[in-house]
Amino acid sequence: MSVTILGPLLAGGETFPLYSFRIPAGFPSPAADHIEKHISLDELFDIRAPHVYLAKIEGDSMQGAGIFCGDLVIVNRSLNAEYGDIVIAGLNAEPICKRLHRRDNVVMLLSANSKYPPRYVMEGDELVIWGVVTYSVRDHGRS
Amino acid sequence: MAGRDQVFALIDCNSFYASCERVFRPDLAKTPIVVLRNNDGCVIARSYDAKPFVKMGAPYFQIKDVLRQHGVQVFSSNYALYGDMSERVMTIIESMVPAVEVYSIDEAFADLTGMPGDLTTFGRTIRAAVYKRTGIPVGVGIAPTKTLAKLANHTAKRLQAHTGGVVDICDPVKRDWVLRNTDVGEVWGVGRRMKAHLETMNIKTAMDLAEADPWTLRQKFSVVIEKIARELTGTSCLELTEAEPAKQEICSSRMFGKRLTAIEPIKEAVATYVERAAEKLRAQSSLCKKIRVSIRTGMFNPEEAKYANGALVELPYPTNDVRLLTKAAVEAVNRLFRPGFKYSKAEVLLMDLRQPGEFTDDLFAQSQPVTAEKVMGVLDEINQRWGRGTLRTGSVPAKADWWMRREKLSRCFTTKIDKLWIVKCN
């Protein structure tokens, strides 16, 4: 009879997080069967992906879309911008954050604040879409 | 079968450092850029449009006026930014091809053997993906050997407008055209000296080298040049090396931001370089048995007295303990330092490296205590989590006036949360 040692099963496979509460001597933890993966904002925002970048917003023109002065935005460069998306773009070489829009075949950059009128992209303007905003993060003053 | 039907690609970033500076500065898309070396000494990178005005390696103080005159934007080297952008580029390439050898911060070889479909189209796909996701333009050279891939890449760059940045020379007709139209000095691995030697033998183009007799080349020069010649004919001799072999020596050296005359700041600087070198040592999980420290004055100013000296310290046992290494290095500085000189540079070299377990000492030889390993493990973990230099030896200052000069440093857009790119909303 030949015996093949298989080695420890699952070695190198997925490792599961162990919850850090101690194992009680008497009763097994009722949570032990419900261990799940840890929550990770890195994963949610995908900020470790090579095409995802962070930027900081200065100004109040996107307030209506929930992006305030000082907020962080998560920017994805691999997405193709569609009309309706909030984008980071270079308009005549200046980086800006606006909503990309189209009306009657004219491309427009919309603010989300009535103080700022829509900006029509005209001939002679140079618009380069840098990336699409996927999330934003705000500091509520207790960090 | 080895060597048959293999296909390699060399993917290389165009003017990488300058391109990185442009990613977060759309206003500089059409402005020529140069990047200065450590300490703002001389030019180490130029954007295409800066090349007509500046020579590579030109000292900054000599060309300041020329740069201003032509509106060239100057940057100090921002390695935090370049390193991060490089990692992004390499990750994207790795996700698209079967195997990658990261050859330097801005170039990678890829194994395309057995990839279906048209390879030029695939090259363009890589180029487009990298550009879209990072903003960094790359060139792609595709060929049956690494040396030819490098040459194809060079051609792609040289004839950018014509080739769209991608050149595939797997077809022998195309390959021969490139070989005939490339100077032998442009071939990977042929240095200036070798080029001069070859030219005396009437080998002037890459084609001449490919057609030279391999045996003669081996006898006259070396097996290396013979391999290069064989690679040029399409016979693959160099394989993809995916895992970088552990370094045999680790060096950390830097010019001081200003001349130093006292011993204390020199000790601090040396301790700082040791810290960095020891970090690299542990990252490749090696131990070192010897450390060499050298200090010197400036060498070019005729007015200044010159002095340069080095000391080799043998450590009691192979170690990666920064505390022990620092002690040895500082002691070396005590021995080397002579008052009355203006010092400009120090260097720390870790030598006689070994992998733990790979060497056998005699039974009674001392070895590194286990506690030291543990302390170093914790040190690296803390610094990885909270940033380099969070936990350091007492000899390393938090801030010092001898630090590298980097007056024209751009922001660390991608690596520091308080230095992020700022986008206007108005």
pLDDT digits (tens, 9 = 90+) for B241-259: 866 667 788 988 888 888 8
B359 close to A (CB below 8 A): no
H helical segments located in B284-401: 322-336, 370-386
Which one is predicted more confidently, B21 or B160? B21
Among partner residues B26, B88, B92, which is closest to A95 by beta-carbon distance? Answer: B26
Inform me whether the pLDDT recorded for B100 exceeds 70. Answer: yes
Q: For the residues A76-80, what does the mean pLDDT come to?
A: 96
Q: Nearest CA to CA, how far is A82 from chain B (Å)? A: 15
Query: Quick check: B94 and B111 in contact, CB under 8 A?
Result: no
| Mean pLDDT of all residues in B223-233 | 92
A26 to chain B, closest Cα gap in Å = 34
Helix (H) or strand (E) holding B86: helix B79-94
Q: Is the ipTM of this complex over 0.90?
A: no
CA distance to A90, B19, B74, B231, per residue, from B71 (Å): 21, 17, 9, 43
Tell me which of A127-131, B319-323, B357-361, B401-405 is least confident.
B357-361
**pLDDT by residue (tens digit) across B59-87?**
898 899 999 999 999 999 998 899 999 99
pLDDT, residue A9, reads 42
**Residue A70 clears pLDDT 90, i.e. is over it:** yes
Q: Which two tokens stand for residue B337?
A: 């330092």
Task: Compare all CA atoms of chain A with the CA of B422 and give the residue at the minimum distance.
Answer: A56
From CA B277, how far away is CA B387, in angstroms rounded? 16
B91, pLDDT greater than 70? yes
Whether B87 and chain A come into contact, CB under 8 Å, resolves to yes
Q: Are the Cβ atoms of B425 and A69 closer than 8 angstroms?
A: yes
- Kindly report the average pLDDT of chain B as a whole number: 89
Among A20, A98, A115, A136, the active-site one is A98
Instruction: Inspect the interface and report whether the beta carbons of B425 and A94 lie closer than 8 Å.
Output: no
Please compute the mean of the pLDDT values over residues B106-128 and round it to a whole number: 94
Looking at per-residue pLDDT, the higher value among B51 and A37 belongs to B51
Active site residue A98: yes
Cβ-contact B109, B145 below 8 angstroms: no
From the number of C-beta atoms within 10 Å of its C-beta (0-12, 13-18, 19+), residue B166 rates as buried
Q: Using a CB-CB distance cutoff of 8 angstroms, which residues of chain A are in contact with residue B423?
A: 55-58, 73, 88, 95-97
Tell me if residue A136 is catalytic.
no
Is A73 touching B (CB cutoff 8 A)? yes
Flag the least confident range among A64-68, A77-81, B166-170, B359-363. B359-363
Residue B230 pLDDT level (bands cut at 50, 70, 90): very high
- Residue A128 reports pLDDT greater than 90: yes
Give the pLDDT score at A101. 96
Tell me which chain A residues have a C-beta less than 8 angstroms from the C-beta of B91.
Answer: 50
Residues B377, B396: Cα–Cα separation, whole Å: 19
- Helix runs in B181-255, H state only: 192-200, 206-211, 214-220, 223-232
Polymer length of chain B: 426
Provide the pLDDT for residue B170: 93
* B414 has a chain A CB within 8 A of its CB: yes
Q: How many residues does chain A have?
A: 143
Whole-number Å distance between alpha carbons of B422 and B31 = 20
Closest listed residue to residue B369, CA positions, set B320, B325, B314: B320
pLDDT, mean over chain A: 84
Q: How far off is chain A from B31, nearest CA to CA, in Å?
A: 11
How big is chain B by its Cα radius of gyration, in Å?
A: 25
Binary contact (A97, B414; C-beta < 8 A): no
Residue range B215-231: average pLDDT? 90
- Please report which confidence band the pLDDT of residue B196 belongs to, taking 50, 70 and 90 as the band edges: very high
**Percent of chain B beyond pLDDT 70?**
96
- Count Cβ atoms within 10 A of the Cβ of residue B393 and give its class: 0-12 exposed, 13-18 middle, 19 or more buried: middle
Q: Indicate whether this model's pTM tops 0.90.
A: no
Please tell me the predicted confidence (pLDDT) of residue A35: 65
Residue of chain A whose alpha carbon sits nearest to that of B89: A50
Q: Which helix (H) or strand (E) holds A78?
A: none
Interface of A with B in 85-104 (CB under 8 A): 88, 90, 93-98
pLDDT, residue A8, reads: 45
> A61 pLDDT band (50/70/90 cuts)?
very high
Of A53, A54, A61, the CB nearest to B426: A61
Chain A: residue nearest B95 by CA? Answer: A50
> With bands split at pLDDT 50, 70 and 90, how would you rate the model's confidence at A100?
very high
Contact between chains at A58 and B27 (C-beta distance less than 8 A): no
Q: What is the pLDDT of residue B47?
A: 93
Helices then strands, each counted (H, E), chain A: 1, 7
Residue A23 has pLDDT above 70, yes or no: no
Of B309, B304, B306, B317, residue with least CA distance to B293: B309
Q: What is the predicted pLDDT for the residue at A1?
A: 44
Chain A residue whose CA is closest to B28: A93
For residue B1, the model assigns a pLDDT of 41
Which amino acid does the sequence have at A35?
I
What does the pLDDT read at residue A29? 74
Question: pLDDT tens, B330-356?
Answer: 999 998 999 989 998 899 999 888 887
Of A6-15, B43-52, B221-230, B315-324, where does mean pLDDT reach its minimum?
A: A6-15
**Partner A contacted by B26 (CB < 8 A):** yes
Which residue out of A61, A78, A111, A114 is catalytically annotated? A61
pLDDT category at A24 given cuts 50, 70, 90 is low
